[in-house]
Amino acid sequence: MKKLILFLAILFLFCTNALAKPPKKQAKMVTKTLSGQIDMCLSCHDETLDNAHGREVLGCYSCHLGNPLSGNLSLAHKGMVKNPGELRFIEKTCSQEGCHVKEAKWVKHTLMATNRGIISTLRFYWGETKDPNEPLTVEKLKITGKNSLAIDYFRKLCGTCHLWLERGRLPGFLSEKGGGCTACHYEKPVERGKKHPLITKRIPLKNCVRCHNRSGRIGLSYQGLFENEGYGTPFEEGDVSGSTLPDGRFVQRVSPDIHFEKGLVCIDCHDKRELMGDGKERAHLDQQVETKCIDCHGGNKVIERIKKRDEGEKDFKRFVHIEKKEGKFVLLGKMDKRAHLLNPLKKNSCTSSLHKDLSCQACHSRWVPQCYGCHVRYQRGERQLDKIALRDTYGQWEEFKSYMRYESPVLGVKENFQNEGRKVVIIVPG
């Protein structure tokens, strides 16, 4: 009897081991970075990035965290982050000593992260605050859950164009938005079979337009794209137009900006301090944008003055891509290094005292999008996705548009425009 019990016990152990799951993937060798740091992730992951973030230089752990000393799949991936550029992670990733310490701190205060101007202006015109510059930010909305009618509108219709949005958390085309540093510095690999995204300083136009295509629609206008009323006209072969944006809005091709025609992209004009900030929190767009037309087109003396100022700058050199060739300044495109001659202002028109109160845009804008019949509908009893909290809540907003026009710009007067005093500027209704 004892022999039978012993036999059955051995048989049970044998069957149990035979049916058990095979051990998870194990690393076969110890792998290191060029500096000698052990990073077992490299034994499995062979993706290549740019030179600065190369796998041999940084390994995987420096950005994605996890446990680089373990050769076991589960243990190695514990605590790992998929997108190191997310603002909620950058103190441990991009902001490490020896990496982008200052930039990671600055970017949290930029308008692309805070959305202060949108939130405060919306609340001011809806009568919810007397302060059009109130310091209410996306981060504070996430932490406190603060809400009101105007904020609910922002949460549900405007809450995808900020750096705090977690990339990939929203459905459809919205999944491409957000992601902190990744929102701008991300580029899909072009080589077949590559999965890891590329990290780039040469920000392509499409990354900017992913967000800058609503409200003033500057990203669309720059390319000569006019968002029409949504009827799908002009029809193509008896069907609606095939010219649409990722969200389904219909567009028409019209005259683009002269800079777009010449092959320039956003980063050719807009510099580091404008885009990533300098650590100071600003309330509105015109407080953060410092680029002016006259910086490039004010003649050699203006350009030389800015380049002289750059010599004393450590972090915010503005004209590193502007060089003097044969006595004339040229701008070298940051994407393709093409040389663009910087023509000075016309003496008989631009510099005339008769035009001293005109902004450059007042004369040189070919057209602007105009929406005179735009309105919204609110249904309190319906639910809609809160794009800040990432959950459905009561209150549904729906936008409607009509009388969309692209015509000569409406002009208005703005006090202290670009710190140059009272100027006549263009206005974009809608």
Q: What is the separation of C-alpha 212 from the centre of its chain, rounded to a whole number of angstroms?
A: 9
Report whether 251 contacts 225 (CB < 8 A).
yes
* C-alpha to C-alpha distance for 111 and 285, rounded to whole angstroms: 7
- Tell me the per-residue pLDDT of 284-312, one tens digit each, with 9 for 90 and over: 998 999 999 999 999 999 999 999 999 98
Report whether 27 contacts 40 (CB < 8 A).
yes
- The pLDDT of residue 135 is 95
Give the pTM.
0.88
Count of beta carbons in the 10 Å neighbourhood of residue 122: 21
- The pLDDT of residue 107 is 95
Residue 196 reports pLDDT greater than 50: yes
Report whether 177 contacts 398 (CB < 8 A).
no
Residue 184 reports pLDDT greater than 80: yes
**Rounded percentage of the chain residues whose pLDDT exceeds 70:** 93
Greatest extent of the chain over all pairs of C-alpha atoms, in Å: 115
Residue 331 reports pLDDT greater than 70: yes
Report whether 373 contacts 405 (CB < 8 A).
no
List, in order, residues 6 or more apart from 189 with CB less than 8 Å away: 195, 196, 197, 198
Higher pLDDT, 343 or 233: 343
When mean pLDDT is compared across 49-53, 123-127, 168-172, 321-325, the lowest value belongs to 49-53
How does residue 75 score in pLDDT terms, banded at 50, 70 and 90?
A: very high
Count of beta carbons in the 10 Å neighbourhood of residue 406: 19
- The pLDDT of residue 20 is 43
- Tell me the per-residue pLDDT of 348-380, one tens digit each, with 9 for 90 and over: 888 888 999 999 999 999 899 988 888 899 999
Apex 106 CA angle, 105 and 111, nearest 5: 130
Higher pLDDT, 15 or 376: 376
Please name every residue paired with 413 in a beta bridge, in sequence order, or none if there are none. 424
How does residue 18 score in pLDDT terms, banded at 50, 70 and 90?
A: very low
- The pLDDT of residue 19 is 46
Q: What is the mean pLDDT of the chain?
A: 89
Distances, alpha carbon 260 to alpha carbons 201, 222, 285, in Å: 19, 6, 22
How does residue 236 score in pLDDT terms, banded at 50, 70 and 90?
A: confident
* C-alpha to C-alpha distance for 131 and 121, rounded to whole angstroms: 9
Residue 6 reports pLDDT greater than 60: no
Over the chain, what HEC string results? CHHHHHHHHHHHHHHHHHHCCCCCCECCCCCECCCCCECHHHHCCCCCCCCCCCHHHHCCHHHHECCCCCCEHHHHHCCECCCCCCCCCCCCCCCCCCCCHHHHHHHCCCHHHHCHHHHHHHHHHCCCCCCCCCCCCHHHHHHHCCCCHHHHHHHHHHCCCCCCCCCCCCCHHHHHCCCCCHHHHEECCCCCCCCCCEECCCCCHHHHHCCCCCCCCHHHHHHCEEECCCCCCCCECCECCCCECCCCCEEEECCCCHHHHCCCCHHHCCCHHHHHCCCCCCCCHHHHCCCCHHHHHCCHHHHHHHHHHHHCCCCCCCCCCEEEECCEEEEECCCCCCEEECCCCCCCCCCCHHHCCECHHHHHCCCEEEECCCEEEEEEEEEEEECCCCEEEEEEEEEECCCEEEECCEEEEECCHHHCCCEEEEECCC
* C-alpha to C-alpha distance for 236 and 245, rounded to whole angstroms: 16
User: Which amino acid, one-letter code, is at 328?
Assistant: K
